[in-house]
């Protein structure tokens, strides 16, 4: 098999059986406890399953500065986003290097343990400017930094119980070890990964199927971690993927999984991160579309393409497949992009996301050239339920 080599050479996992929890809880009952937010639990899970190999824990100060400053780990390996564990100032001042701490969720369930190797202070303004290229608090990534309890963080190796994530997506939550085994069982040697936080539409379908022409299989890998409030919920998006796969894709050439990471909206840096993560899952190719991982107008539509082109294959270990804006052309009578169609805009069926969302709220399906009717029905049902759940404003 010729699946990708994990980033750094091998998968680094940090899983421990859940059956060990009672004993570990007793043994470390008096140790300090750090309660993790949903976003931090997502990062912990990515470390645990090997998705962010070669990390074996949360970054220390040296690694944090190297990643934010030059998009590389201290040893030179490409890594574009900081994975750190924030703590309150009083927690930071009460900890010692070498101490084992308990990692809890918001319900005080023990998720795992961490051996503290570093306690440091982040420069959040510098981090925002370097990672997100803005300090605008309206940017969701910058806003997330603004909600932190302060600038302090701890780094160190973790051990995580293998039931760290439970919920409706658990059956599709393939670990990198499991996805690699699945691809091999299907006889795939080349696999293209597709990242999405949005409901799937005809342009997505077009670029996926174009990519599928040159590889053995497609790994459809939607993100189900934390997103911004106005994004379509993961359960609705998954319903869209399922109805589409049932009718319009070859069952033997697509694997649907879920990516438990949180969305950072870091544009080009996050596109690079998404590619490296899918490399760990076994993908040999990765689709990078227009404004990948972008938000608003903070990044140019093809800045992610430009960033990934700065790195050689030896550095990335995965082949990016770059796509221009895709749309339906009435003259061509099919899905096209600016690379394949020379007709003017009067022939194009291309609506803004704002316009499509308004149509869905009004119970109107977008044109079938943009969205499959089955997908539109799922989305209209979602918006209808959401509108019905909003309390009416009294006129008195």
Chain centre distance of CA 58:
17
Domain total in the chain: 2
* 224 and 321 inside one domain: yes
Q: Per residue in 73-94, pLDDT tens?
A: 999 999 999 999 999 999 999 9
The pairing of beta strand 152-161 with beta strand 15-16: parallel
Tell me what pLDDT residue 390 has.
57
Residue 130 lies in a domain: yes
Q: Per residue in 282-305, pLDDT tens?
A: 999 999 999 999 999 999 999 999
**Residue 77 structure tokens:** 């390996």
* 182 and 151 inside one domain: no
* 156 and 285 inside one domain: no
Q: Of 130, 161, 192, which residue is a domain's last?
A: 161
CATH code for the domain of 210: 3.40.50.620
* 191 and 320 inside one domain: yes
**Residue 257 structure tokens:** 């999984």
Catalytic residue (choose from 102, 197, 237, 278): 197
* 174 and 117 inside one domain: no
Instruction: Compute the distance between CA of residue 293 and CA of residue 316 in angstroms, rounded to an integer.
Output: 18
Catalytic residue (choose from 35, 88, 109, 198): 198
Half-sphere exposure of 320 (CA within 13 A, CB side): 28
* 198 and 70 inside one domain: no
Q: Of 135, 161, 187, which residue is a domain's last?
A: 161
Residue 3 lies in a domain: no
Residue 9 lies in a domain: no
Name the CA dihedral angle for 13, 166, 271, 251, rounded to a multiple of 10 degrees. 100
* 100 and 139 inside one domain: yes
Residue 53 lies in a domain: yes
Instruction: Compute the distance between CA of residue 283 and CA of residue 289 in angstroms, rounded to an integer.
Output: 17
Which candidate, 274, 258, 264, 58, places its Cα nearest to that of 175? 258
* 143 and 184 inside one domain: no
Spatial contact of 257 and 172, defined as CB atoms under 8 Å apart: yes
Residue 137 to residues 132, 140, 143: CA-CA distances in angstroms? 11, 7, 5
Whose structure tokens read 């044109």? 367
Instruction: Compute the distance between CA of residue 74 and CA of residue 65 in angstroms, rounded to an integer.
Output: 9
* 23 and 154 inside one domain: yes
Decide if 197 is catalytic: yes
CATH code for the domain of 30: 3.10.400.10
Decide if 242 is catalytic: no
Residue 395 lies in a domain: no
* 225 and 141 inside one domain: no
Instruction: Compute the distance between CA of residue 139 and CA of residue 72 in angstroms, rounded to an integer.
Output: 24
The pairing of beta strand 191-196 with beta strand 217-222: parallel
How buried is 209 (Cβ within 10 angstroms: 0-12 exposed, 13-18 middle, 19+ buried)? middle
* 80 and 190 inside one domain: no
How buried is 250 (Cβ within 10 angstroms: 0-12 exposed, 13-18 middle, 19+ buried)? exposed
Domain with 318, as residue range(s), is 170-259+265-389
Residue 215 lies in a domain: yes
Residue 28 lies in a domain: yes
The pTM for the full model equals: 0.94
Residues of the chain with pLDDT under 70: 1, 353, 389-396
Q: Of 112, 136, 161, which residue is a domain's last?
A: 161
Q: 3-state SS of the chain?
A: CCCCCCCCCCCCCCEECHHHHHHHHHHCCCCCEEECCHHHHHHHHHHHHCCCCCCCEECCHHHHHHHHHHCECCCCCECCCCCCEECCHHHHHHCCCCCEEEEECCCCCEEEEEEEEEEEECCHHHHHHHHHCCCCCCCHHHHHHHCCCCCEEEEEEEEEECCCCCCCCHHHCCCHHHHHHHHHHCCCCCEEEEEECCCCCHHHHHHHHHHHCCCCEEEEEEECCCCCCCCCCHHHHHHHHHHHHHHHCCHHHEEECCECCCCCCCCHHHHHHHHHHHHHCCCCEEEECCCCCCCCCCCCCCHHHHHHCCCCHHHHCCEEEECCCEEEECCCCEEEECCCCCCCHHHEECCCHHHHHHHHHCCCCCCCCCCCHHHHHHHHHHHHHHHHHCCCCCCC
Residue 255 lies in a domain: yes
* 148 and 39 inside one domain: yes
What angle in degrees, to the nearest 10, is found between the helix axes of 373-389 and 234-248? 160
């Amino acid at each position: 098999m010729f699946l990708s080599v994990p980033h750094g050479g091998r998968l680094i996992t940090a899983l421990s059986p859940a059956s060990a929890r009672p004993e570990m809880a007793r043994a470390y009952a008096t140790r300090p406890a750090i309660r993790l937010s949903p976003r931090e639990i997502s990062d912990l899970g990515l470390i645990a399953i090997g998705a962010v190999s070669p990390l074996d824990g949360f970054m220390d100060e040296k690694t944090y500065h190297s990643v934010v400053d030059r998009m590389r780990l201290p040893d030179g390996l490409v890594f574009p986003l900081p994975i750190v564990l924030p703590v309150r100032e009083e927690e930071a001042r009460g900890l010692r290097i070498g101490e084992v701490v308990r990692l809890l969720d918001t319900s005080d369930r023990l998720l795992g343990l961490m051996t503290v190797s570093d306690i440091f202070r982040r420069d959040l303004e510098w981090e925002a400017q370097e990672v997100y290229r803005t300090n605008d608090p309206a940017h969701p990534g910058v806003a997330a930094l603004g909600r932190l309890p302060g600038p302090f963080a701890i780094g160190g190796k973790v051990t995580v119980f293998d039931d760290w994530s439970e919920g409706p997506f658990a059956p599709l939550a393939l670990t990198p070890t499991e996805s690699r085994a699945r691809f091999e069982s299907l006889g795939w040697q080349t696999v293209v990964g597709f990242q999405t936080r949005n409901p799937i539409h005809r342009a997505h379908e077009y670029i996926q199927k174009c990519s599928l022409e040159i590889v053995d299989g497609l790994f459809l890998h939607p993100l189900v971690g934390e997103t911004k409030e106005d994004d379509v919920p993961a359960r609705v998006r998954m319903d869209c993927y399922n109805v589409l796969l049932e009718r319009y894709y070859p069952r033997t050439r697509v694997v649907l999984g879920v990516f438990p990471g949180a969305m950072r909206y870091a544009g080009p840096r996050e596109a690079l991160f998404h590619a490296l993560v899918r490399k760990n899952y076994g993908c040999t190719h990765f689709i990078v579309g227009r404004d990948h991982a972008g938000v608003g107008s903070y990044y140019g539509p093809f800045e992610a393409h430009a960033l990934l082109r700065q790195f050689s294959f030896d550095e990335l270990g995965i082949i990016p497949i770059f796509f221009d804006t895709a749309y339906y052309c009435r003259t061509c009578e099919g899905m096209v992009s600016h690379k394949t169609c020379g007709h003017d805009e009067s022939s194009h069926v291309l609506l803004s996301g704002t316009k499509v969302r308004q149509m869905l709220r009004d119970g109107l399906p977008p044109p079938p050239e943009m969205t499959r009717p089955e997908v539109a029905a799922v989305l209209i049902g979602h918006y209808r339920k959401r509108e019905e759940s909003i309390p009416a404003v009294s006129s008195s």
